[in-house]
Amino acid sequence: MATPFQAQRFIARQVGNIPPSGIREFFDVVQSMPDVISLGVGEPDFVTPWHIREAAIYALERGKTSYTSNLGLWKLRQAVSDYVEKQFGVGYDPGHQILITVGVSEALDIALRAVVNPGDEVIYHEPCYVSYSPSITMTHGVAVPVACSAARGFALSAEAIEEVVTPRSKALVLNFPTNPTGGTMTRGELLKIAEVVLRHNLLVITDEIYAELTFEGDHVSIAALPGLRERTIFLHGFSKAYAMTGFRIGYACGPAEIIEAMMRIHQYSMLCASVISQEAALEALQHGQSDTAAMREQYRLRRNFIVNAFNAMGLSCHLPRGSFYAFPCIASSGLSSKEFAFRLLQQEKVACVPGSAFGPSGEGYLRCCFATALEQIEVATERLAGLVTPRQG
């Protein structure tokens, strides 16, 4: 007699042990509720600029519907090389050091798969984007979090990295400006981290998807620091700066040997990124800087309003120096971040993401995305104040 089939038994352990995304789990509930103002999903509310959409349409009209090189369109890799050198001060050879990917999510996945052996430790900072720890786990690596605090503007300290480094440490994952906190790093802070990286012979994977949405000071990439270019995988994309989330297009730059290893995984999984998206990305790099600047200024206005509103209602909120997220502390409510978020949703119909979705370090906070219309933000903060004020007497 055949053994009854139990699908659960066939799921790989490292996958079965991964918890569901705290963001998606929360928004499954949101989808079932009408008239909710969402400050939740980290996506620009702007439509992709017309000239970028037109480039995609024109590519279709010209019959551009085939595969590209595994590495991506040559002209797009050249444009990425020019852009990264101009904007970040790091030069990469478009022939061997740049790979076009299906969003930064794929770039991160294949970067980790290309370099992590079972048991290797990968250090990352929390609160952080929800995919970092699971992505490390799925490579059979060991995810090692380092907490960042509001007192430091959610910047990462070299001392905190030093405390968790062991002989098994292989890589450090950075994301500045950070999702969900809007934290950024100064050149001085990055130089201290670079010293730790060099001393312990670590590889750096830096996700700089929010770089163009830096409000104060100059964005500095760790890849541009002395001795770091040759030991850094630089990840970037188009979703945030150009409002191109649905195009699913990103890129990785780094040492030729590592890019080649990443390309081997890419060629057997994705093969290549969409040629239509690549044509649109080329247009974005060549003519989209004014669009980014205009969107950034709108985000700046919204940031200033929402942070002031949180502080006025007694929810301490640091001023994010980048990204489009505010991260107010809700500890004074006496509720966990998940309890607060669900009460806010059920009673006031405002959706924000519990800070705990971004790791234990996010408990006591709420991620509020201000990539939505200012009028909506005004209503949302009024409703939120209605929930908070009675508790403050």
**If phi over 0 gives left and psi between -120 and 50 gives alpha, with beta otherwise, what is residue 140?**
left
Listed in sequence order, the DSSP H helices in the chain are 13-16, 22-30, 50-61, 74-88, 103-115, 132-138, 158-164, 187-199, 256-269, 275-287, 289-312, 337-348, 374-388
Reported as a single tens digit per residue, the pLDDT across 159-170 is 999 999 999 999
According to the model, what pLDDT value does residue 252 have?
98
Output the CA angle 232-156-208, nearest 5 degrees: 45
According to the model, what pLDDT value does residue 391 have?
45
Residue 93's H or E segment, with its range, is none
Are 310 and 328 in contact, with CB atoms under 8 Å apart?
Answer: yes
DSSP string, 188-217: HHHHHHHHHHHHTT-EEEEE-TTGGGB-SS
Reported as a single tens digit per residue, the pLDDT across 237-263 is 999 999 999 999 999 999 999 999 999
DSSP strand pairing (121-126 vs 37-38): unpaired
Quote the percentage of the chain above a pLDDT of 70: 98
Structure tokens at 314: 């007694």
Question: 102 pLDDT band (50/70/90 cuts)?
Answer: very high
Reported as a single tens digit per residue, the pLDDT across 141-151 is 999 999 999 99
pLDDT greater than 70 at residue 390: no
First to last CA, the chain: 68
Are 320 and 303 in contact, with CB atoms under 8 Å apart?
Answer: yes
Q: What is the mean pLDDT of the chain?
A: 94
Q: How many helices (H) and strands (E) are present in the chain, helices listed first?
A: 13, 12
Whole-prediction pTM: 0.95
Reported as a single tens digit per residue, the pLDDT across 39-75 is 988 889 999 999 999 999 999 999 999 999 999 999 9
Residue in the structure block whose two tokens are 């030093």: 162
User: 251 Cβ partners below 8 Å, 6+ apart?
Assistant: 72, 77, 80, 98, 99, 100, 101, 107, 235, 236, 237
Q: Which carries the bigger pLDDT value, residue 346 or residue 303?
A: 303
Residue in the structure block whose two tokens are 């991160």: 108
Are 371 and 45 in contact, with CB atoms under 8 Å apart?
Answer: yes
- Give dist(CA 255, CA 246) in Å, integer: 29
Closest CA to 30 of 21, 20, 41, 19: 41
Helix-strand-coil split of the chain, %, nearest 5: 50, 15, 40
